[in-house]
Structure 1
């Protein structure tokens, strides 16, 4: 019985096979390298979170000590003014004046129950006062800021010609890809920048998509949304009571 000669493999097939093997080897090496880099990055995440936690505890302790010292001297302790407010739109588009509509657009409050962080200064305060009948706002504490970003936070990724993408903040890499040049690489960095109004607050706040909140549990006040909060309504500055209002809408 005559043995069959081995079938010759075309050179194009061999070339494609070698290319596929090379690509597979490069991908495997890249995966190993990426895994090692992620392990180092995770340690950095933990380190930064611990640093911020220590900073928050120190700030709270300093406030308590300042109050005690003022009380011992028979004086009053006046804390520093708020640097940031959280604004929620509570009314729709009916009867909107052109200037009010423009201000709400500048604040990125295009829909009812949208919420945004706003840095407090003279210009933004005048804008908020101008649209007070359509919004409610107040000073969020650290817990409220953290819950908003963790539970309702979405990132604005992309560019204007191609359009923006609204991505959930379920992975720190989403934040790192957009804000790493500003030193923000994880959720705790983003929370710290917003809460303390850091030097990259504008970029961090612009990265956050306007928060889409629910209707408040239990509904709005019986006096209605047209009445100022000081008179038992919903509109206007709530101050420190904003935390409870936001938690009803999460």
Structure 2
């Protein structure tokens, strides 16, 4: 028996990077997974690779209508869902004096509002399933300072997680946040940043950056019944960085 047998999950931002890693791990552990993203080509290719227990749906996470469609497609294909991984997000590395209002509102919509919309959209389906687990991917910048915009939204995800966890606990729905440090995703290890990332890794207590699969293992744990008494909590995957 695998760890996610009987689990029906939506994973956002799943066409590449950490989202794709989560999707692969969920399928390996026996879940049925709806992958969502705006990248149709990569999303369809990954779903085809993962087989009959995976379905790709194009999804703008900032659209309430799109969330309604994704939940409906999930129920149509697999039944009421019991896992949501709010993984989609973007970064921004500008000073507060450089960021425009439009840029700021965009990162808030994608990193913060989408998490609210996702939780709201899946709760009725999870009620049909008699419970569930919501995993919100934040960042260590939801715990300590980073750049403007990104830090703000990741702190917000942490707060929303706690508020929602208390509100939906009586439905048997758990809500937790995951706070990765520096992860070896394509965005992080591209050629123009690779050298600076390698230099930074020397300051991490474990002396390396993490692989996406190391975050995925934690997400699987939170999606599974093994974490049945964990809710409203932060789970950190940073090699000891925030412990210093």
Q: Smaller-chain TM-score range?
A: under 0.3
Give the alignment's TM-score, normalised by structure 2: 0.24
Higher helix fraction: Structure 1 or Structure 2? 1
Give the alignment's TM-score, normalised by structure 1: 0.23
Q: Bigger radius of gyration, 1 or 2?
A: 1
